[in-house]
Structure 1
Amino acid sequence: MKRAFFYAVSSALLLSIMNAFVKMLGQGMPAAEITFFRGLIGTVAVLGYMGWHKIAFSSENRGMLVMRGVFGGLGNFLNFLALAYMQLADASILFQLSGIFVFIFSTYILKEPIPNGAGKWLWVILLAVIIMIKPWSYNDFHWYSLYAIGGALFAAAAYTTIRQISQSGHHSPYEIMFYFLVSMIVVGGIFMWQDFVWPDTRQWILILIIGGISVFAQFFLTGAFVATNAVVAQFLQYIGVFFNAFWGFMLFNEWLSWMTIAAGVLMFVASVMIGRLKEQHHVSRN
């Protein structure tokens, strides 16, 4: 559990830093293009590392590895779209819905049992989401929040797939990362050609920073889901909301509304309680 905690918190910190740079870059570059370059840099780095350490690719579970990659690539693209147009904290809170989606997927796909008492906390999270997106007001409704929710859904599918793949015990985290990064190249390449912007010097620097940080973040993230229960690993990353809020305030002068704070607190408390119930149930079974 300690190793999973370290991996999850490390990935949350690195991803929050990456999100800040993505937001900077997203002001003048399409999200698809950022997705493409992140995948390209990461793929080169991972292949180089695997070649240097003679880490071989497995012939097993290739279908699942491809699914993990496609889900992750789509989720990353939608997240980048949301980051370009939303406050970092707002987008980050909605990204954490992936924990709820992981909970649902792990229950019905991985057959991990639902702990008693989890239902009421799911309703609390639904209330938090409604507060965040404000569907009752057309003027206040942020359409890009739907991209953040969609990104959370695809990310959860990817995380659940990682957990299922890891149960076979035959795949290196770097192999799992490789399929994800290649899928980012494909997804980004499909959507970027119509609005392609050739990067200037500043943008190239940001692209390289994003690519480098994302490799380490993805390693820690994959390690967290390999090391522990999928739901627990996802909820451990909730500290990323606070990291993102800090960068949003420091770098973009973003202030949180009371509704965002209320929604974030509700979602955080409910998510922690579900994770705690899940972990207690896991311990009691063993």
Structure 2
Amino acid sequence: MVKGIVLAFCAFAVFAWGDAIVKAIGHDLDPFEVTFFGYLIPLLLSPVFMKPGDSVIDIVRWKRPWLMGTRVFLIAATTPLSVMAFRSLPFAEAFALLFLMPSLVTVLSIFILKEHVRWRRGLAVCAAFIGVLVIVRPGFKELLPGHFAALAGALCAAGGVIAGRMIGQTENRFTLIGTVFLATTVLAGVLMIPGFSWPTTHQWILLLAFAATAFVAQALFIIATIYAPADRLGATQYSQILWALAIGALFFDEWPDALALVGIAIVVAAGLFIFAREQTLKRSEPQAGLSDETIRPETAPSSARR
């Protein structure tokens, strides 16, 4: 169990550094182009996640095509939206808004899955939205496109999680992982065409580094699930906010003000509480299994999303 937790922390540290690379690329490249090249290499390497009996064709062979199509599209949309957020907003602020995802999952589960949400989780959801208002402070600070991109990314990631829960265990691991890489690459590849520009040598280095983090982080998380159940590792994703604060301050000279820190703390605390409550409920109910156990818990998506 301990080895799994350590590997999960390492995976999310790599994810955080990948997001930092995205931010370092800045506004010089179209966000869809960044996403395309960042996921093309992991797509080509995705067969390493195959188990005996798997086939490359499984990447497009879906047992529940409508649900898989919905899930794949939502998760594929999460990454370019996250890229837009990281390019436009302070690093830690973008992360905090993307961490609204667990609260949005709770809200969507009420309307789509008809789940009964008790008052404790309801209060945590309300607290998370209050935290977002403290961070964004509409009417008191400028609302940037990145704010809307981060919120849209969190919503898409939440929708992907809900679709994953509806899929259950009908799809195998390689299908779940490979389709994310494939769909993200294809969607970003089409949308990057109008704003495409050939990367410079420096940009190629950054793009390759971003692709490497996407693949390595996913591999580390999958290895972590060998030593510990994936649903027990979800809380480790919140370590990314600490990386975001450190990286933003040291490399981008971003120092959140006191109110922003309060808002970040509220959103993260609410997300952790929701996670803890869901774990408590799972232990008291028959295990149904999650289809997205081997996929990065997509808060946090960047990259989730990825």
Question: For the superposition of Structure 1 and Structure 2, which TM-score range results when normalised by the shorter chain?
Answer: 0.7 to 0.9
Question: 1: distance between equivalents of 2:199 and 2:102?
Answer: 34
Equivalent position of 1:121 in the other structure:
124
Inter-CA distance 276–52: structure 2 relative to 1 (3 Å threshold)? closer
* 8 Å CA contact retained: 1:14, 1:213: yes
Superposition deviation, residue 227 in structure 1 = 4.1
Residue 73 of structure 1, aligned match among 68, 76, 86: 76
Aligned to 1:245: 245
1:224-269 deviations in whole A, cap 9, x for unaligned? 7x9455xx76554122111111111121111111111010111122
SS of 1:117's equivalent in the other structure is helix
Q: How far did residue 149 of structure 1 move?
A: 0.5
Structure 1 pair 73–90 and aligned structure 2 pair: CA distance change class (3 A):
same
**CA–CA distance in 1 between the matches of 2:16 and 2:145?**
22
Secondary structure of the 1:194 match is coil
Amino acid at match of 2:36: F
Partner of 2:98: 95
SS at match of 2:255: coil
- The answer to whether residue 58 in structure 2 is matched with residue 55 in structure 1 is no
Q: Residue 152 of structure 1 aligns with which residue?
A: 154
Q: Deviation string for 1:58-100 (max 9, x for gaps)?
A: 5422333332221111111110011111111010000101111
Kindly state the Cα deviation for residue 120 of structure 1 after the two structures are TM-superposed.
Answer: 1.6
* Partner SS, residue 284 of structure 2: helix
Amino acid at match of 1:140: E
SS in 1 for 2:256: coil
Match in the other structure for 2:133: 130
* Equivalent residues of 2:102, 2:274 under 8 A apart: no
Q: Distance in 1 between matches of 2:249 and 2:280?
A: 36
Displacement of 1:187 in angstroms is 2.0
TM-score by length of 2: 0.81
Matching residue's letter, 1:206: L
> Matches of 1:256 and 1:281 in 2, distance apart?
35
TM-score, normalised by the number of residues in structure 1: 0.86
For 1:262, the equivalent position in structure 2 comes to 262
Q: Give, in whole Å, the separation in 2 of the partners of 1:192 and 1:274.
A: 36
Percent same amino acid among aligned pairs? 21
Cα deviations by residue, 1:207-234 (Å, 9 ceiling, x for unpaired) = 111111102323456787x9455xx765
CA contact (8 A) 1:102 1:157 kept: yes
The DSSP-based 3-state class of the residue aligned with 2:106 is: helix
2:169 counterpart of 1:141: no
Partner in structure 2 of residue 187 of structure 1: 187
- CA positional deviation for 1:112: 5.1
Partners of 2:23 and 2:216 in 1: CA distance: 19
Number of residue pairs matched by the alignment: 279
Structure 1 CA distance, aligned partners of 2:71 and 2:185? 14
For residues 209 and 203 of structure 2, the distance between their equivalents in structure 1, rounded to whole angstroms, comes to 10
Unaligned runs of 5+ in 1: none
Q: 1:220 to 1:95 in 2, by over 3 A?
A: farther
2-side partners of 1:284 and 1:51: how far apart?
A: 33
The one-letter amino acid of 1:55's match is D
One-letter amino acid matched to 2:271:
S
Separation in structure 2 between the aligned mates of residue 66 and residue 35 of structure 1, nearest angstrom:
19
Q: Which amino acid aligns with 1:124?
A: A
Q: Is 1:176 matched with 2:172?
A: no
Give CA deviations for 1:170-199 in whole Å, capped at 9, x if unaligned.
402x32121111111222123212221201
CA-atom RMSD in angstroms: 2.8
Aligned-partner residue type, residue 54 of structure 2: I
| Residue in structure 2 matched with residue 34 of structure 1 by the alignment | 34
Please identify, of 200-209 and 113-122, the stretch whose mean Cα deviation from structure 2 is larger.
113-122
One-letter code aligned to 2:97 = L
Query: SS of the counterpart of 2:192?
Result: helix
What amino acid is the match of 1:66?
G
CA 1:51 to 1:124, structure 2 compared with 1: closer, same or farther past 3 Å? closer
Residue equivalent to 1:14:
14
- Contact 1:9/1:236, CA 8 A, preserved across alignment: yes
Kept after mapping to 1: 8 A contact 2:21/2:206: yes
1:207 aligned partner = 207
The residue aligned with 2:289 is none
